[in-house]
Structure 1
């Protein structure tokens, strides 16, 4: 990494010291992090996404069930109801036209016009699963395949939902059945492809390979992220990210407090190559902007820290660079 990179941090504010903002901007150089600059007074901005058309960022306010547009130097410039309860994730379409909020609490999706933040459409799901946390749908993440098609992780119903935006309306077009009790939390697409993805199962500490053939998705493989067994307490997978060359997938597991490095073969199957111990409760993993595939960010929620790991030929190495932030849940 050369020069200076600007990163954004999101995190929980509930039950945290007063005056600690959950949303901040921070610089990173080869010497390490600067001091975080709080950006906005938002309740629990647990997920952040950059606007592809400007310098603005969008953030969910999870506890307030709202979405905010934040402009560096100005703070919150617009806010609106997310159209869902307990939004845990926010996705922006590649063309910058749409925002999709994933409602963990309501088990639904909310579609917003990205420019005005006007709610446009909503979509609710049904279903449940065998785990005690699967009493109802719990939508955790949405990923755009293109400007109109999405894959949606429904932790509560053990489904990856297929959704399309048609004439400004969200339409449910199909389901991919995941292993019972998996609790699909997040997925990541293979770079440059819309027929290969990997899904983390939060509840059973798993990662599955999804392949689409002849228009239908199927689970091609499932393996554990805790080959030696879960930790002594609660153990759940957290984040997932793919190397830009598609050669490795990185998955965090909370409780065990590890990041697994999984090698990808020619058909997308995974094999564990390395597992490193990281700080407590690694909720999120993602790339440093401009250093994708070379510098990995790990947001350790319970250690109040975001750490940087170097990547060398796919394997992780500690850099010693860390920034303190209260209950971090997103960085990038």
Structure 2
């Protein structure tokens, strides 16, 4: 099989030179268990950290992460591509692109500023203008805490002694309640202590930032996106070329939803980067497209996984969708989870060495798992027991510069 390889170039701290080409066995084979060979660069471009293919055209779309742009490339030879139009602005640290099954649009996710962006595609597959969706709101923000901080901060701007008389009823007034109510020194001290109190209040909890990370096309024209920073899964439909949010599902604080995969049973599996879990979401029976979604179960990836030192990456299904495989960076392992209850639950069954350092992405091709080791600069091919879901030993490996994404060529 032939694969297109995304990676980090020098602008992203990596050693790749653009979109790479990987052979796993014969390039025209339907199997990926043969010898691995990295054959060079299909298109030179800056940090194509994520690559997605058009469903019917010989066109690739890349998230140029460091530049914050999305670029389309059209195939010019067996293993060569050229730009199709110019790069189009998406947002800060765009880290993922997904192509609609209909081939009429691309959705980009931006880690740096939380943007979700839709690009319409023309008949050639060229990108249209970016249509930025409404931003997310943190479901765990403490509006009262922020208001309290603002109230106390306003004390620093007191310009008259009369202002001090209003402190008694204010939250935080006790911090300056013993100050004498006269003299310029009292005003200065009040201002300093008020500023300090405001800072303390405002920093009671770490600042949370929206971090869009992935999009997934679901049946019925629904799109699911993850927000790793705000612990959200958002659901969208398209109206007049724009993304319209229909629902959002809030996951536990600090879990960090990263990637999703659609299970043929009708469930959405969400892997959380920080808490190392898989949440199973499903819509209420009879609900309209993009509405009625809820969490119905959750499972840890493995007992051995350690939040804080391990970070989940990709989630992928086996060919029969009986198992989900999740990469774990840090311990550099692959967790296997068995699908239960008609897709409504998953349970961990095995944990295996990924064979690489920092398994950023992996793909499952029958009885072979190909793993991109971002920090070890290699791709490894591991065996997979399709009956048990257990990932076995490394069969083969090949040097590949800073790989972050693998996409099977048609």
Q: Is this a same-fold pair by TM over 0.5?
A: yes
CA distance in 1, matches of 2:383, 2:316: 14
Q: Which residue of 2 aligns with 1:213?
A: 284
Q: Give the deviation of 1:270 after TM superposition.
A: 1.1
Q: Distance in 2 between matches of 1:241 and 1:133?
A: 32
Q: CA deviation at 1:120?
A: 4.4
Match of 2:357 in 1: 280
> 2:92 aligns to what?
85
Task: Give the structure-2-normalised TM-score.
Answer: 0.73
CA 134–12 in structure 1, closer or farther in 2 if over 3 Å, else same:
farther
Q: 1:266 to 1:136 in 2, by over 3 A?
A: same
Alignment of 1:41-120 (within 5 A): 41-70=44-73, 71=75, 72-114=79-121, 115-120=125-130
What displacement does 1:12 show? 0.9
2:316 matched residue in structure 1: 241
Output one character per residue of 1:247-267: Cα deviation in whole Å (capped at 9) or x when no partner.
101111111211111001124
Distance, in Å, in 1 between the alignment partners of 2:100 and 2:220 is 5
Q: Which has the higher helix share?
A: 2
Q: CA deviation at 1:74?
A: 3.8
Partner SS for 2:219: coil
Does the CA-based 8 Å contact 2:301-2:337 persist in structure 1?
Answer: no
2:134 equivalent among 114, 120, 124: 124
Find the aligned partners of 1:250 and 1:37 in 2 and give their Cα distance. Answer: 28
- 1:303 aligned partner: 376
Assess if the C-alpha contact under 8 Å between 2:38 and 2:400 holds in 1: no
Q: Which has the larger radius of gyration?
A: 2
2: distance between equivalents of 1:90 and 1:97? 13
CA contact (8 A) 2:70 2:90 kept: no
Q: 1:152 aligns with which of 225, 235, 240?
A: 225
Aligned-partner Cα distance in 1 for 2:391–2:42:
31
Cα offset, 1:153, TM superposition: 0.5
In the TM superposition, what are the counterparts of 1:143-292 in structure 2 within 5 Å?
143-146=216-219, 148-191=221-264, 193=265, 195-214=266-285, 215=287, 216-230=292-306, 234-267=309-342, 268-278=344-354, 279-287=356-364, 292=365
Q: Structure 2: state its 5+ residue gaps.
A: 26-32, 142-204
Deviations 1:104-123 (A, max 9, x none): 11211111123221124111
Kept after mapping to 1: 8 A contact 2:69/2:88? yes
Q: What TM-score, normalized by structure 1, do the two folds share?
A: 0.89
Checking the alignment, whether the CA contact within 8 Å between 1:22 and 1:326 is kept in structure 2 is no
For residues 53-108 of structure 1, give each alpha carbon's deviation from its aligned partner in whole angstroms, at most 9, with x where no partner exists: 12221111011111122224343233332432211100000011100001111211
Whole-Å separation in 1 of the counterparts to 2:340 and 2:57: 37
Tell me how far 1:229 sits from its aligned partner. Answer: 4.7
> Is the CA contact 1:93–1:146 (under 8 Å) kept in the aligned structure 2?
no
Q: Structure 1 unaligned runs (5+)?
A: none
Q: Which has the higher strand share?
A: 1
2:32 maps to 1:22? no
C-alpha distance in 2, partners of 1:169/1:34?
42
User: Structure 1 residue 133: deviation in Å?
Assistant: 7.9
Check the 8 A contact 2:43/2:80 in 1, yes or no.
no
Q: Would you identify which runs of 4 or more consecutive aligned residues in structure 1 move more than 3 Å?
A: none
